[in-house]
Amino acid sequence: MKLPTLNDNPFMKPMEWVSLLLLAGLILVLLPLALDSFRLNLVGKYLTYAFVALGLVICWGYCGILSLGQGVFFGLGGYCMAMYLKLEASSVENTRIQSTPGIPDFMDWNQVTALPWFWKPFHSLPLTLIAVVAVPTLFAFVIGAAMFKRRVGGTYFAIITQAIAAILTILIVGQQGYTGGINGITDLRTLNGWDIRTDAAKTILYFVNGGLLIACILVAQAVKRSKLGRILVAMRDKEDRVRFSGYAVASFKIFAFCLAAAFAAVGGAMFTLQVGFMSPSFVGIVPSIEMVIYTAVGGRLSLFGAVYGTLLVNWAKTSFSESFPELWLFGLGALFIAVVLAFPNGLAGIWRQHVEPRLSRKPKSPALPAVLPHGAPAE
């Protein structure tokens, strides 16, 4: 069989363009028309998780690196944004009653009298916007460089990223005076003078969020179809062969991990803007693993699937935990098990196997590659 070369491959197949248009139509037209502003804000919140899920598709689905610490990057991005908003909300006029005016209220409560050095850059909006992406990406780079250069991968990497998520949560909760502790950074008001609490602002932020998500999908698609994307897949399936062919395996892995971190960070920042606070409960182990399940449900090899998976799981979570809080954990647990055992390719896999062949009258398209083809190294 002749494999198509890269030049034959269009940027996206017609079917994928249709999927993209459908998704964009759903997010940018249908949902805003159908939902009231409260529900729309809720969907906006879910969509911020979809950034993380997208990153995981590249990092986990295509490159085979399971990170259980994506909450760290989501949280770092969110905290960077929250620090800027908090500083703006605690101007000297707003905080007259404090013993030290001009610093965030939780610092005042914890007897911190001067703004710590790492808060200072967040007075400036451009620096904040850079930090939102740069801080988590750099952090991912350090972790990735340390681990992948030493050929740590697979389950070890998963455990260590999980430990990092635990450490960061404990650190944020413990250093109450500098981070706001368990309550997080709350009471955020304006972005460069623009009130983000009004319904109109929330609607605008929703559209910004949706646009950014589509942009991230396009970036991920560009990575996926490039030569780089093929090397990622090759590495996932037979790492040693790629290494022996002369590729610096570690650098490619670091790239995939950093890209996933950057996506997660954008999601985190948008989360802070739309929801109006950031807290350590979005950083730790439990949210990080939940973000993995969004990807798994949607299909770990499908960019669009990841978005739908995120929406579906969160929708189920909200409606179940509203009406049957007891059942929700059973349902979520069963979902984990079912996806892994029965549908390793998630919703996208079901779609490609059962729906797509009926849509196109063409002869059956070749089956989706297995998640781990035969003989994948069990590290």
Partner 1 sequence: MFGDYSLGDLGAIFAMQGFAGLILFSVYVLMALGLAIIFGQMGVINMAHGEFMILGAYVTYLCSGFFQSNLPALFPGYFFVAMVLAFLAAGALGMLVEWALIRHLYKRPLDTLLATWGLSLILQQAYRSIFGAREVGVELPSWLIGSVQVTDAIEIPINGMFVMAVTVLITVAVALLLFASRWGRQVRAVMQNRVMAGAVGIDTDRVDRATFGIGCGIAGIAGAAFTMIGSTGPTSGQLYIVDTFLIVVFGGAASLLGTIASAFSISQTQSTLEFFLSGSTAKVLTLLGVVAILMLRPQGLFTLKVRR
Return d(Cα 108, Cα 110) in angstroms, integer. Answer: 5
Interface region with partner 1, contact rule CB under 8 A, candidates 24-32, 86-94, 158-166, 210-218: 158-166
H/E run at residue 194:
strand 194-195
**Whose Cβ is closer to partner 1: residue 1's or residue 341's?**
341
Backbone angles phi, psi at 378, to 5 degrees: -95, 100
Applying CB under 8 A, which of residues 11, 156, 244, 315 lies at the interface with partner 1?
156
Instruction: Select the residue interacting with partner 1 from 167, 215, 248, 359 (CB under 8 A).
Output: 167
Distance CA 270, CA 43 (A): 12
Residues 241-260 that bind partner 1 (CB under 8 A): none
Stretch that binds partner 1, among 12-20, 87-95, 126-134, 368-376 (CB under 8 A): 368-376
Of the candidates 217, 248, 207, the residue with the CA atom closest to the CA atom of residue 231: 248
Asked whether 50 and 311 are in contact (CB, 8 A), the reply is yes
Contacting partner 1 (CB under 8 A), which of 195, 199, 240, 379? 379
DSSP per-residue codes, 185-217: B----EETTEESSSHHHHHHHHHHHHHHHHHHH
Single out the segment in contact with partner 1 by CB under 8 A; choices: 75-83, 197-205, 284-292, 361-369.
284-292
Among 164, 217, 283, 306, binds partner 1 (CB under 8 A): 164
Q: Which residue in this structure is represented by tokens 């500098």?
A: 178
We find the least distance from the C-beta atom of residue 142 to partner 1, in angstroms, to be 9
Site size with partner 1, rule: CB under 8 A: 46
Q: Which is nearer to partner 1, 209 or 314 (CB)?
A: 314
Shortest CA distance to 59 belongs to which of 369, 371, 346, 300? 300
Minimum distance between the CB of residue 140 and partner 1, rounded to whole angstroms?
A: 14
Residue from 43, 81, 292, 348 binding partner 1 (CB under 8 A): 292
Determine the Cα angle at 254 with ends 248 and 259, to 5°.
130
Half-sphere exposure of 176 (CA within 13 A, CB side): 8
CB of 165 to partner 1, least distance (A): 8
* Burial category of 117 from C-beta neighbours within 10 Å (exposed 0-12, middle 13-18, buried 19 and up): exposed
Residue 182 binds to partner 1 (criterion: CB under 8 A): no
Task: Look at the block and give the residue holding tokens 């049957």.
Answer: 324
CA–CA dist 186, 131 (Å, integer): 20
- Binding segment for partner 1 among 38-46, 77-85, 143-151, 184-192 (CB under 8 A)? 143-151
- Beta strands at 194-195 and 190-191: parallel, antiparallel or unpaired: antiparallel
Q: Which stretch binds partner 1 (CB under 8 A): 24-32, 100-108, 201-209, 288-296?
A: 288-296
Whole-number Å distance between alpha carbons of 267 and 49: 6
Site for partner 1 in 313-342 (CB under 8 A): 326, 329-330, 332-337, 339-341
CA atoms within 13 Å, Cβ hemisphere of 318 = 10
Question: Which of 170, 204, 248, 367 forms a contact with partner 1 (CB under 8 A)?
Answer: 170
* CA neighbours closer than 13 Å in the CB half-sphere of residue 48: 28
Site for partner 1 in 55-74 (CB under 8 A): 60, 66, 68
Scanning 3-11, 27-35, 90-98, 153-161 for contacts with partner 1 by CB under 8 A, the matching segment is: 153-161
Can you give the binding site for partner 1, defined by CB under 8 A? 60, 66, 68, 146-147, 150-152, 154-156, 158-160, 162-164, 166-167, 170-171, 173-174, 285, 289, 292-293, 296, 326, 329-330, 332-337, 339-341, 344, 371-372, 376, 378-379
